[in-house]
Structures are given as structure tokens and as C-alpha cells.
């Protein structure tokens, strides 16, 4: 791994990151899901959102989100393509208002991984395989990311977020990483 970039990921650098607080230990991995517009897969819109290039006129849904400044460290598309937006050593802007184990501001100490999908549509088998491989690589770099510190966005932003949702098979994922 060169710096905090996974060697098998396509790099699409996002400007939406900053430095983690000094001395911060990365010990949390957050699984998200995203599709733009909601329920549509395979388009260029997630890259555009994370690069601040989302055209608000391209779809009515985009008018409400084009101004947001968001990112994630990684995205795993439905076909298994792995895309990296932010160096793992940097703070990506994926968790928003969040809390884990009594600590707020999860972006400070978390890695964010998006799966192309929705809460209700089953994820692809290849997405689980790539997610497991990326998780293993991340845990080598950040050994403090224990199994009980791998959670969904809904776990750190309860009541505000629901992803990766009931369609995500935590049992299968945990079997692949343990």
C-alpha cells in the first residue's frame, strides 16, 4: 500500500477531506451504501458528488444534494470495481453527525466504505468479496480496527441513517473477514 492508497483501487481523488486530529488512532470501519439517483446503479454520479461536480440539473434529486461536500475513502460498485477517493490516513467526510462507543465525530477515527446499493436491494456477491479484501488490507494498516469496530452507518447515526440497511448480509461479511 503506497501511502494510504490501496494498490488495487482506481483513484478518483476528492477534495473533500482534511487531516485527522493529531495523535488520532483509526479504530473504526463504517459500511455505507449509496446510489445516485437513489436506486440507479452504474452511473458517474457518485464520482461527481465526491468531486463537487454533481450537476443539479442532471436529475431532480440532485438539486437537493449538489451543494453538499461529502466523500468516502472507498466505493465498491455493483460489478466489484473498487474506487478510492481519499487517502486512508486522511479524514474523509462520510459519517456526519455520529457517535461510537461514547465518542463523537466518527470521521476523526473511522474509515468509510460505500457500497453501491440501497437499503432494500441485495448486494452482489462480488461486493462482499471486495469489501472483505479491502477490510483485511485496512486492518493490516490499522490493527486497532477490531471486528466489533466494523459497523454500519446506521450504528453510528441511529435515527438519522439506515444504511447499509436490511439488505446487507452481516453474517456473510463477518464470515469472510474472520
Q: Which residues are catalytic?
A: 114
Kindly give, in sequence order, each residue whose CB lies less than 8 Å from that of residue 175, ignoring residues fewer than 6 positions away.
Answer: none
Please spell the DSSP secondary structure of 155-173, one letter per residue. Answer: HHSTTT--TT-TTS-HHHH
Largest CA distance in the chain: 44
Q: In the sheet that 28-34 helps form, which strands lie side by side, from edge to edge?
A: 10-11, 82-84, 74-76, 110-116, 28-34, 150-152
Amino acid at each position: 500500500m503506497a501511502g494510504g492508497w490501496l494498490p488495487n483501487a482506481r483513484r478518483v481523488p476528492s477534495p473533500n477531506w482534511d487531516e485527522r486530529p493529531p495523535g488520532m488512532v483509526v479504530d473504526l470501519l463504517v459500511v455505507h451504501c449509496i446510489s445516485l439517483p437513489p436506486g440507479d446503479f452504474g452511473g458517474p454520479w457518485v464520482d461527481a458528488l465526491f468531486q463537487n461536480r454533481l450537476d443539479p440539473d442532471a436529475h431532480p434529486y440532485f438539486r437537493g444534494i449538489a451543494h453538499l461536500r461529502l466523500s468516502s475513502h472507498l466505493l465498491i460498485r455493483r460489478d466489484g470495481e473498487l474506487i478510492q477517493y481519499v487517502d486512508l490516513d486522511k479524514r474523509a467526510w462520510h459519517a456526519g453527525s455520529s457517535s461510537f462507543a461514547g465518542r463523537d465525530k466518527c470521521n476523526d477515527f473511522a474509515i468509510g466504505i460505500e457500497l453501491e446499493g440501497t437499503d432494500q436491494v441485495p448486494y452482489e456477491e462480488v461486493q462482499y468479496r471486495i469489501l472483505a479484501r479491502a477490510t483485511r488490507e485496512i486492518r493490516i494498516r490499522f490493527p486497532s480496527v477490531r471486528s466489533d469496530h466494523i459497523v454500519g452507518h446506521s450504528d453510528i447515526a441511529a435515527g438519522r441513517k439506515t444504511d447499509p440497511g436490511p439488505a446487507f448480509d452481516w453474517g456473510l461479511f463477518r464470515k469472510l473477514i474472520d
